[in-house]
Each structure stands twice: as structure tokens, then as C-alpha cells.
Amino acid sequence: MSEAEYAVVLVYSTSHALRAEKLLLDGSVECKLIPVPRQLSSDCGVCVRIPRHESERALEILAAQVMIEGVHDT
């Protein structure tokens, strides 16, 4: 089994996801809004996909400005 290429940042609302996307792009972290994977949550919603190697940097950028539900490898 290979190592996950991406991680997803789960947030509490679509507005948090939009804010996270803006902050990450401003911080030069590649990201994309995607539907929350079914295996992580049955809730309808969006999350932010990032390269797994950028996880720590992304969390530093988001820490004080966006409430994060969790970060999961995909």
C-alpha cells in the first residue's frame, strides 16, 4: 500500500472551507475544495484537499483563523 498523496482538512461549515481555501492560496499552499469523502463523514459538505506533505504548514496558516474539525490522509 502506498502512502497517501493528499490530505483533507475537514471544517465545520462551507464558509469555513471557503475561508480556509483563501488563506491557503494566499500562503502559497496548493489546495482544492472537494466534497467530503463518504468514509470520513456522511454529512453533506465540502472540505479542503491539500498535498499531504503540506499538512503541517497548512495547519499553521489556518490555526488562528479557521475552526478545523480534523485532518485526514486520503
Structural contact between residues 29 and 35, judged by C-beta atoms closer than 8 angstroms: no
User: Any bridge partners for residue 73, and if so which?
Assistant: 7
How does pLDDT run across 10-61, given as a tens digit for each residue?
Answer: 999 999 999 999 999 999 999 999 999 878 875 668 999 999 999 999 999 9
Identity at 40, one-letter amino acid code: L
Give alpha helix (H) positions in the chain.
14-26, 55-62
Is 6-73 a CATH 3.40.50 domain? no
**Distance between CA atoms of residues 33 and 72, nearest Å:** 14
pLDDT at 74 over 90: no
Q: What is the dihedral of CA 24, 51, 46, 64, to 10 degrees?
A: -40
